[in-house]
A and B are shown apart, each in its own frame.
Chain A
Amino acid sequence: MSGSVALDTLKKTPLNAVHRDSGARMVDFGGWDMPVEYSGIVAEHLAVRKRVGLFDVSHMGEIEIRGPQAVELIDALCSNRAAALQDGQAQYSGLLYPNGGFVDDLLVHRFSADHYFLCVNAANQDKDFEWIRGHNRFDADVRLTSADYAQLAIQGPQALPTAQALTPADLSAMRYYRFIRHEFAGAPAVIARTGYTGEDGFEVYIPPGEGERVWNAVLAAGEEYGILPCGLGARNTLRLEAAMSLYGHEIDERITPYEAGLGWIVKLKKPAFTGRDALAAQKREGVRRKVAGFEMKGRGIARDGYRVHAGGEEAGWVTSGSPAPWLEKNIGMCMLPVEAAEAGRPIEIAVRSRMVAAEITPTPFYSRRN
């Protein structure tokens, strides 16, 4: 094995040296050299549920759209209604193909009426950028600005005091899915009350050169709360407990928002957008399959891609499956025909050579109390 050669081809975040020096276990995550865990996925997961955790999510992509018709471009390509946003507000949305499947899922932030900031998935950013640029009928200025930002996620019940210690902005006054552009640990930042863990928290976008300094400042500010640096392993188990979709799993180019249980990001009544006709027809006729949550009843852990049987026949597949460290259960999400996907229905998961009993359960598996 010549690890060093492969490593050279991996992309690195501005925090890469920090991760490696602190002994994080690194993995190739969609072409990025990323930390999967520091102290352990379970400890990191529990830190976020009970205290606070810090994630480097600088691999995420940023696309900025400027111009008097910037919002028309976004609304022509995305399923949610960007025109409803106010300055300082963010929105979860779907960038869709004509068939209603996802190019990507994303967060749309309105900086101002003529400047929008999109946060997109790392592995999709080039595809997203080309898609938006290729459909730019509104003469907007579309730029892929991922290299201009490091992104840190501070998540957990103590995320607020941790982050508040580092900025003069009043974060307690900021509501969920709002953001402010202000100084953070001395760096110019976008501080958004968003996250991917099911907890309260902030996602902070800063210049890449400030990444390491701000990372260390957050760890110092969170020390009194027991903050832990967290890897992508805990990020995945946290989002799964909260039943949040992951591109390539619950959603992809063939799965629509309705099938993924994301009908709330589809605004059929807004002006025409790519995928609208397919979605309107699907809404009219009803979906035939959908993503559902399940819990293992027998002894075994469902993993991504395992086959799901319902009524004795193969009926679908596990989109995401894992032990859930907070719930202390083995859970997952799967794609099934709607009639097999009702809560309470028994299913079986093919765990390697064995069929293991499971049951469809309501989602989210976990939601915070507040």
Chain B
Amino acid sequence: MYPPEYRYTKEHEWVHVSGESAAVGITHHAQDQLGDVVFVELPDVGAKLQANGAFGTVESVKAVSDIYAPIGGDVTEVNEALIDMPELLNSDPHGAGWLVRLKIFDATELEALMNAGEYAEYVAAEGG
């Protein structure tokens, strides 16, 4: 369910690091809780994200949910496909539904995040 090479937050985002850059998205659990995603609002390329700072919103038919940056970084790319196909967040939250790519400020921030096993336990404990 949760890719072992990713790291996870308590707010149900994931981050996938490769070298000095990282992709960020929301987890399967997050999309399942939201229901049909119909709208995504993302920052512009060049925006500076602080760890734990809200950087966008995901809206389902029923609810609005803020998204928080798992780690700090400069936004180098945003997933433009989500503008027309927000449902990618439901169908492939850990892949094609990625939100932004970052150039990482400080890799040590990753140490505060959960690994896949810890996150799965965290979700189970939340009643998900």
> A residues touching B (Cβ–Cβ < 8 Å)?
1, 3, 25, 36-37, 40-43, 233, 237, 299-301, 303, 322-323, 325, 352
By a CB distance below 8 angstroms, the chain B residues around A1 are 126-127
Bound complex: CA A325 to CA B59 (Å): 14
Query: Which of B38, B57, B126, B127 is the one whose CB lies under 8 Å from A323?
Result: B38
Q: A36-B62, A41-B61, A41-B62 are in contact. Are A301 and B36 (CB under 8 A)?
A: no
Which residues of B line the A interface, CB within 8 A?
Answer: 35-36, 38-39, 57, 59-62, 64, 126-127
Q: A40-B35, A40-B36, A42-B36 are in contact. Are A303 and B61 (CB under 8 A)?
A: no
Q: Is A41 a contact of B126 with CB atoms below 8 Å?
A: no
Q: Are A301 and B38 in contact (CB under 8 A)?
A: yes
Residues of chain A within 8 A of B59, CB atoms compared: 301, 323
Least CB distance, A353 to chain B, in whole angstroms: 10
Is the Cβ of A42 less than 8 Å from the Cβ of B64? no
Nearest residue (CB) in A for B36 is A42
Expressed in whole angstroms, the Cα–Cα distance for A36 and B34 within the complex equals 11
The docked-state distance in angstroms from the alpha carbon of A42 to that of B64 is 16
Question: Which of B36, B59, B126, B127 has most A Cβ within 10 Å?
Answer: B36
Which of chain A's residues have a CB closer than 8 A to the CB of B60?
A: 41
A352 and B57 form a contact (CB under 8 A): yes
Query: Which B residues lie within 8 Å of A42 (CB)?
Result: 36, 38, 61
Q: How far is the CA of A25 from the CA of B39 in the complex (A)?
A: 21
- In the complex, chain A residues whose CB is within 8 Å of the CB of B38: 42, 301, 323
Q: How far is the CB of B85 from chain A (nearest CB, A)?
A: 14
B35 touches A323 (CB 8 A): no
A233 touches B127 (CB 8 A): no
Closest Cβ of chain A to B17, distance in Å, is 30
Q: Which residue, A42, A299, A325, has most C-beta atoms of chain B within 10 A?
A: A42
Whole-angstrom distance from the CB of B64 to the nearest CB of chain A?
A: 6
- C-alpha spacing A294/B36, complex, angstroms: 22
User: Bound state CA distance, A42 and B59, in angstroms?
Assistant: 13
Q: Within 8 Å CB of B126, what residues of A?
A: 1
| Cβ 8 A contact of B61, one of A3, A299, A300, A323 | A323
20 contacts between A and B (CB under 8 A): A1-B127, A25-B35, A36-B35, A36-B62, A37-B35, A40-B36, A41-B36, A41-B61, A42-B36, A42-B61, A43-B36, A233-B62, A237-B61, A300-B39, A303-B64, A322-B61, A322-B62, A325-B61, A352-B57, A352-B64
Is B35 in contact with A41, judged by CB distance below 8 angstroms?
yes
